[in-house]
Amino acid sequence: MPSRRRRRTPSRARSTSRPAAAARPASASAPAEPMPSRATPARTTRIIPAHLVSNLRLYKYAGADKSLVSRYILQPYWTALVEWVPMWMAPNLVTLIGFAFIVANVLMTLWWSPDLVTPLPRWCYFVFGLGLFIYQSLDAIDGKQARRTGQSGPLGELFDHGCDALNTTMSVLMVAPALGYGQSPWLLVSLGCTLANFYLTTWEEYHTGVLYLGLISGPVEGILMIVAVLVSTGIFGPSMWHQPLLGLPLTSFDLTMAAGILVIFINLATSIQNVVRATRSLQPITGLAPFLVACATVASWAFASPWLLKEGGNVPLMLWITAWFGHLVGTIILAHVVKDERFPYLASWGNLRMAVLGAAVAVGGYLVGYGFGCSSCFVEDADADLVRCGALRWSRAPSKSGTSTSARPWRGSPTRGLRRA
């Protein structure tokens, strides 16, 4: 009986021996990326968890701007301004050019007033105001440029908000010589309020998915207020802020600081209300802990070691806070764009350890000195070393006012010349 088994034809053999990729659809023809092993982790997994990388494609910016100044005055100006930007210019380059003006302003401030108290030439205040306004304009049109060129994405928000976070601290540093609070507790008060406003706005965007700007916001009215302060200082001089008003025991400085703090606290309450309403829970409020711990640490450090706000300590402290806050906000924004459900509570702990150590040394030395009735000079030396290790190495060179300032690298002992007679 003949066998029913068919002999496989060469053509069928060739068809069955085709590679599996030929039978796949076009969308699956590309080889799959190898999974990162534990021995050689992928570069993206060092910053973004591997299972969240795909969420970058799902990111879409959402914002709500309630500012009347922005809607009726600045928006027409920004719309006309972006038309002058060439199509080949990347949106992040627009942001970077604006941020370069802020860096130039800070360098001018440290050149003319390294102690943040010495008055600057009046033309510097006009330059600062112009540079800050240019930064605001370019920061506002980078999103419009991204939509014009079809380059909207999560990297733009991360870079844009990162520059905004750095500018927040740098603006306080620029205004310090104008208002004359460069070596007073008002330096930390104004810095803490402005950073709190920016932090809660970022924290609110993480939980609600919307960047909400109220009737009075930092990126619009806040920057315009600083520009007005700088221009007024250039016209009337820094002394105008400390003259009594109409015979009252109040000065223009007092009213300006009170108005700014009041507006900031209103914005803070609005951000908390929006988050609680969107999440219907009080648990997100724990996300304020990293910022509050940092504020308490720096405040206790400055209280126990007054040298920290004096010449030689205030500028390194401000630069360290600038870098720390930029990193903290950047981690929250990154968690937002990749839709990470775990809030980055401990992301900034590595940069905060030095401040915790400095605060512990200062508070311990203060308590020892208070208990034994003696001054703990070693605390100033320890604080000086910690501040310089955390920011930059500053020197002491004679300034125009005859006092010692920071201008060249230190030589010899890092604490030489800190104690005053």
Confidence of residue 304 (pLDDT cuts 50, 70, 90): confident
**Which value, in Å, is the radius of gyration of the alpha carbons in the chain?**
28
Overall average pLDDT of the 15-27 stretch = 41
**In this predicted structure, what is the pLDDT of residue 40?**
37
Q: Given pLDDT bands bounded at 50, 70 and 90, which one contains residue 231?
A: very high
This prediction's pTM: 0.74
Catalytic residue numbers read 161
Dist CA 124 CA 61 (whole Å): 37
- 42-74 pLDDT tens trace: 444 467 777 777 777 777 888 888 888 988 899
Domains and CATH numbers, the chain: 58-346 (1.20.120.1760)
Higher pLDDT, 379 or 178: 178
Ranking 134-143, 221-230, 257-266, 306-315 by mean pLDDT, the lowest is 306-315
Q: Would you say the C-alpha torsion 181, 183, 189, 193 has a positive or negative sign? A: positive
Q: How many CB atoms lie within 10 A of CB 193?
A: 19
- pLDDT mean over 1-6: 48
pLDDT over 90 percentage in the chain: 27
Mean pLDDT of 170-186: 90
Q: What's the rounded Cα separation, in Å, for the pair 135 and 164?
A: 10
Beta bridge partners of 64: 212
Average pLDDT value for the chain: 76
Has residue 21 got a pLDDT over 50?
Answer: no
- Which residues on neighbouring strands pair with residue 213, listed in sequence order? 65
3-state secondary structure of 251: strand
| pLDDT for position 178 | 92
The answer, yes or no, to whether residue 420 has pLDDT greater than 80, is no
Most confident among 230-239, 254-263, 322-331 (mean pLDDT): 230-239
